[in-house]
A = this chain, B = another copy of it.
């Protein structure tokens, strides 16, 4: 007799969902690592795991001192911690009732939600309401909370870009909703075409679905593009006309590697538009301490801000957040620090600026090295990483390679990525994990390996790729046609 937790009896939505970032490739990489192989984990945007040093200020100040409030009374504390960090630690402790060891309000500490609202106002030029801001254990948890409120059944459709970050596809599966894909245009630098959007919605409706929300990821993951203001305006109008909530995944807003299209938030564009749309369109925006020059993934700090959402709905979301009591408090303090970093004149200011600029400038150089590296490879083409933390090259697999993959029982890009992993230790994610057009193949890699290691990694990639192409290309194949 089969038991309740046996595979065949599990919730089908649990079984159905896929999460490629930690899927077959990651599991194989972990095995190889156990066997002693050196693995370069570029499967997930996890900067500190690849050697990025944490910024000193937030660690020093607030976290060490907040976790160890007895240090504040230690006569030697001034020898170890700068005075402004001590002041900030006291500030954050005063915002809590019970320090880092007490549950906070389930929406997050009110004083930190106020700091987030002030940050948004400075960034966008429009006031923001702390009552509409919830702190979360990383941005992913916030996305899951909002989708949980939206999705009622498999007739509810959520527009998601393809390629997309699989948080969306996995969560929609888990909640029993329907993913409605809209394709980004690779040849237009992964641009978002409203014509495609309209087609996707029309098709979903013809299948009896109610499209309820649209996701944008800006800067793009895995695609690295930065949306222009004009493009965002079109998207907002589209959502308004079609009565969709817009979910704005803006976790890479600090990660910009070109000057033509600086980051602009969906909320600012909406407010700039004025008129009824700015008072009616429902928007939820997400941010995190895991990305940018912070990269504090392990701390699990994030927030979401709701626009044009009624108090009655906010109450429902609050109630559900209460079930797991509160987001972790250290992560909330990291978030507070991210939105209110040291100011000019503060003792820690110069060091903070030096460290954060250092991280960002190096990422920009690495984005360039990686794109150039991929574009120098046989049958590989790659758009420049304008933002975020990823490169998403297209791999033009020859027909013989596709056949070989079929024989091995693998999806072609999984086949390629597994071979790459075995040959070089580079752990990537196949494009099929993010979605792509039929017959087109990609892989995603982060741009996070240490800058000094980049040339060797790209050389190793090139050698593998060009040998692979040599092996499978018959000079009459797809890629030369």
Contacts and interface: CB of A to CB of B under 8 A. Distances in A.
Contact of A80 (B76, B300, B312): B76
Given A14-B149, A59-B68, A149-B14, A299 B4 contact: no
Nearest to A318: B22
A266 to B, nearest CB: 15
Contacts of A48: 98-99, 101-102
Interface string A33-63: 0000000000010111111001010011001
A243 interface: yes
Contact of A282 (B4, B141, B148): B4
Interface string A120-132: 0000000000000
28 contacts: A1-B243, A3-B243, A4-B212, A5-B310, A5-B313, A11-B149, A11-B150, A11-B152, A14-B316, A17-B319, A47-B98, A47-B102, A48-B99, A48-B101, A49-B97, A56-B70, A59-B70, A64-B64, A64-B65, A76-B80, A99-B298, A101-B295, A101-B298, A140-B324, A297-B325, A298-B328, A298-B329, A328-B330
Copy tally for this chain in the complex stands at 2
Given A11-B148, A68-B64, A316-B15, A103 B49 contact: yes
Contact of A99 (B18, B21, B54, B167): B54
A185 interface: no
Nearest to A324: B140
A170 interface: yes
Given A101-B54, A298-B100, A316-B15, A325 B44 contact: yes
Contact of A329 (B76, B299, B327): B299
> Among the interface residues A59, A63, A327, which one has the most CB atoms of the partner chain B within 10 A?
A59
Interface string A386-424: 000000000000000000000000000000000000000
A97 B290 CA distance: 15
A381 interface: no
A475 to B, nearest CB: 42
Interface in A208-226: 212-213
Interface of A: 1, 3-7, 9-12, 14-15, 17-19, 21-22, 44, 46-51, 54, 56, 59-60, 63-65, 67-71, 74, 76-77, 79-80, 96-104, 106, 137-138, 140-141, 144, 148-152, 167, 170-171, 174, 212-213, 243-245, 280, 282, 284, 290, 295-300, 306, 308-310, 312-313, 316-317, 319-320, 322-331
> Among the interface residues A49, A96, A280, which one has the most CB atoms of the partner chain B within 10 A?
A49
Nearest to A322: B22
A310 B6 CA distance: 7
A329 B316 CA distance: 29
Nearest to A320: B14
B312 A7 contact: yes
A322 B14 CA distance: 12
Contacts of A65: 64
A168 B184 CA distance: 42
Nearest to A12: B152
A104 B138 CA distance: 14
B102 A298 contact: yes
A390 B170 CA distance: 39
A432 B431 CA distance: 51
A251 to B, nearest CB: 12
A298 B106 CA distance: 11
Given A137-B137, A323-B170, A149 B68 contact: no
Contacts of A323: 17, 19, 140, 144, 167, 170-171, 174
B298 A243 contact: no
Given A76-B76, A298-B328, 9 more contacts: A4-B245, A14-B317, A22-B319, A46-B103, A59-B69, A60-B68, A99-B298, A103-B297, A299-B330
Contacts of A328: 137, 298-300, 328, 330-331
A231 to B, nearest CB: 22
